[in-house]
Structure 1
Amino acid sequence: MNPGKQRRLNRLCRNGDRRYLFIPMDHSVSDGPPQLINRFEGVGLAAALGGADALIVHKGRLPGLAADPELRGCGLVMHLSASTVHGPDPDAKVLVGTVAEAVRQGADAVSVHVNVGARSEPDQLQALGTVAAHCEELGIPLLAMVYLRGPQVVDSYDAAELAHVVSIAIDLGADLVKTSMPRPLSGVSRLVEAAGGRLILSGGSAEEEPAEFLGKAEYAMRAGTAGLAVGRRVWTAGEPAAVVRRLAEIVHAGVPALAEPAAV
């Protein structure tokens, strides 16, 4: 691997165990939830103190977080994609930042969002490939957020289809790949294989009961997932640091032999 990429990738994992707990906070652009916007830097600090490996934010938020000495040890990922719930097609992601900007601002990695099955899928795939080339040139890791969304999608959580989506991201140059938890959960192993051990699973909706989600998270990590990316469940919580602390225990703890998940 590119040595610059490797050094920055190491900074995304506090424990040096090649496992990652990311807290996505890019939702402030996509749907503007007040639970996040009204206390953005406070949530970021709480997540960092709780043990998050990295925060995922847009470029306008990155300087304020990067300047906070209390966030030392917590990585920063600059998100390059955007769309909003107010647009004609919320699934149509466009680039709103560059890899060069991320490097100048001190980001440890960049992320790009692609919705496979969207009407604008070709443009989004082209953007991913372009960003991957820039990441290689400048030595910065790329996290690809890839989902099944759009009029061509029958089941957004089908393991076989998600494995295809994950492999697309790897083929186009992603260093880490974030996608949805499959249903049933036993399909995780198929995604892990497709990602070559570079799979990050999304936390999904915050409406799911905490105990049920934590059980899924534990199973996913035992199945070989490289980490979790949990946003809404953190920044809608009354005590975000406590939620992150529990997630960090799951992601970075030694994991026993794989057990079959409960039916979900």
Structure 2
Amino acid sequence: MQKTTYQKELVISATQKKNGADNTKKDVMKIQSWLNLFSMVNPAAITSTGIDGDFGTATEQAVINFQKAKAIPQSGIVNQQTFSLMCEPMKNAFEGNTTGAGLRQLVVITAMNHIKNRPFELVINQQSNSGPWVRAYMDGNEGTPWFWCMGFVQAIIDQAASLQGKNFKTLMPLTYSCDTVGTTGLQKGLLRRFTAVRNNPSLVKPGDIFLLQKTPHDWTHTGIITAIGNGIFETVEGNTNNGGSSNGNAALKRIRNFMQSKLDVFSIEPLV
């Protein structure tokens, strides 16, 4: 894989605990981030706490509540074993057993596996588009300006391609920009304009990438097409929400009407 920053999100440098001599702000913020992400999926566990890098009484109690939810000793201390339980969703998303008949199926299955593990952004230091999932998709970058939909798409394509020993950068450059990928598609003859897609939906196949067109050379959002129906695409998208925002807070499955929306499509066929 080309995009391996996620591996840094799976480890802490030392055991972290209340007033611990080996505590680091970075590691404590990682722990606090995963405690908040766990709370989103398991609200009854009461693990949500501030993300400030201070391992105080509140963080200690959140850790105890997490340990209780996981049925492990409730020490309030986070060693690597406990942290690995916290970040297990990311490990499963990036390293889970994925098999498929060909690259297109691998792309779809990989995308679905990420969704199953609930990628979600956090607000840290009053900055949206932050947290371990965003950093994993955006090669360590995070913060309000870092829209992560293309980082998500490229992580999926990269992960699926690497299972076949292929380098996704032969298809497109590593980028976080929809405009860069759209322009690359035009230059390589791989971008199907929305008018062509509407006239002939058979041009589109699962695993291809949609680009939401604002103007002919300006695209504002992207995602993986997982299925094609009667006038609709089923998709997996990062940095969206239930309303289809191009700057939402999660990775989700969606349905988009390509007869009404200007959805250009980038074909991954040369990588297949």
TM over 0.5: no
In our comparison, the structure showing a higher alpha carbon Rg is 2
TM-score (norm 1): 0.27
TM-score (norm 2): 0.26
RCO higher in 1 or 2 (8 Å CA, sep ≥ 6)?
1
